[in-house]
Each structure stands twice: as C-alpha cells, then as structure tokens.
Amino acid sequence: MNDLQANPGDVKVLLHTTMGDITLLLYGDTPLHTANFVKLVNEGFYDGLLFHRVIDSFMIQWGDPTSKDAPKGKHLGAGDPSYRIDAEIDFPKHFHHRGALAAAREGDATNPERKSSGSQFYIVTGKKFSPAQLDQMEHK
C-alpha cells in the first residue's frame, strides 16, 4: 500500500513476515472485521502462521491456525476460530485492487449471507496492466 489514508476509526497494523514488513490499514467503516482482527492480533493468534494460499496475480492468504508449525505437504486453509463475521461489504467504496486487505469467505452458493471467516484474510496482489491494456479493456 503506497499512501495510507487514515480516517477516524481506521487502524494501522504492522505485519512482520520473513519477507519484510507490511503495513495494513483496517477501515473504521468495517467495525466488526476491524475489532476482530485487532483482538486476534492482541491475543497473538497470527504469530507464526504461514501464508498458506498464494495465487499468482491475485492474492496471498493467511490466518489458518492449523498452519502454525505445519509439516510440509499438509493441506491448509480450513482452520478458523469456529465463528464467522457478518458481512460488511461496502462496494464500490471498497473493492479489490492491488494492496487491498479483505476477509476470506466461502462463495455465495454455500454462504448466501456472505459471512467472513473469523480469522482468514488476504491481500490482493493483483495483475499489473499497461495503459494500453486498460484502454483496450475499457473499449470492449
């Protein structure tokens, strides 16, 4: 994230990783998700967890408690603190773009209320497009 624009109620969190630090901005207008994330950080929930899902040109995901000290080859991604968080989707104000932080959730078919995982989050890495590519997409 380049320019963190903090508004009243926003919270900044510094995430330490083996690849460097990442500053996260949690939006104050998503109070349920922000309070939950801060609670888990303060409890040390995320300490030592792995980025267990990496999809090139899309996102990196973490927050599965079973990833802590997981042996190589263990299937990850299903662990959580056994609760869900009510949806706080505010589109188009907040949308997927490079650097965006979002709560993971199951798809609409199995999760029509769009509730979020209690602990899993991801950062959108996105795909870079040239100005010409963007222009071409606009005119399709």
Could you read off the pLDDT tens digit of each residue along the chain, which spans 140 residues? 334 567 888 999 999 999 999 999 899 899 999 999 999 999 999 999 999 999 998 899 999 998 998 888 888 888 889 899 999 987 788 787 888 889 999 989 999 999 999 999 999 998 887 888 888 888 76
How much is the pLDDT for 1?
35
How much is the pLDDT for 5?
60
How much is the pLDDT for 31?
93
How much is the pLDDT for 98?
84
Instruction: Map residue 2 onto helix, strand or coil.
Output: coil
How much is the pLDDT for 9?
85
CB neighbour class for 52 (10 Å; exposed up to 12, middle 13-18, buried from 19): buried
How much is the pLDDT for 2?
39
Under a CB-based contact definition with an 8 Å cutoff, are residues 66 and 79 in contact?
A: yes
How much is the pLDDT for 140?
66
Output the CA–CA distances (angstroms, integers) from residue 118 to 81, 87, 125, in the order listed.
Answer: 6, 11, 22
Residue-range domain boundaries for the chain? 11-138
Q: Which CATH topology does 11-138 take?
A: Cyclophilin (2.40.100)
For 99-124, give one letter per residue: b (16+ CB within 10 A) or e.
Answer: ebbbbbbeeeeeeeeeebbbbbbbbb
